[in-house]
Amino acid sequence: MEEPNFDLKKILVGVDNSDDAQKAFKCAIKLAQATKAQLLVVTVLEKHDMNVYEVLDDDFIHGKREDVEQHVQEYVQFAENAGVQDVQGIISEGNPSETIVEDVIPKYHPDLLIIGSLDIKGPKKIFGSQAAAMAKHSPISVLVVR
């Protein structure tokens, strides 16, 4: 049986404005401090949250992307202030679970993905959450924080 790799060099954490993502971020900071790993902070700009007119409006998307860039930079600054030596912000676009699993992980080669588990109520719960999709399809270990 193959031993799991717990020699963490790069930790990827997915962030948004949810409470569970904040918990995941704080967990990632502590783990990065303890292991001296690089912390990669990723957020995904979801275009499906925009209507067709907003998607076609370059100024709207540019403004939204600037907001996301500033938000990620705040996360990076917070982690640096907490003592994490190597922090990098990443912004991507698309469906969060697909983008992180199919684009971000292969590009940055993290050893661990840390994500929050948003407790979805109602009909969407039937189809599963973003966290469940990432945990199921990720090629690396996933730590889901509640």
Closest-CA residue to 40 (of 8, 88, 112, 5): 88
The pLDDT assigned to 3 comes to 61
Question: For the chain, what percent of residues have pLDDT higher than 70?
Answer: 75
CATH T-level fold of 10-145: Rossmann fold (3.40.50)
Tell me the angle at which helices 19-35 and 58-81 cross, rounded to the nearest 10 degrees. Answer: 50
- The model carries a pTM of 0.82
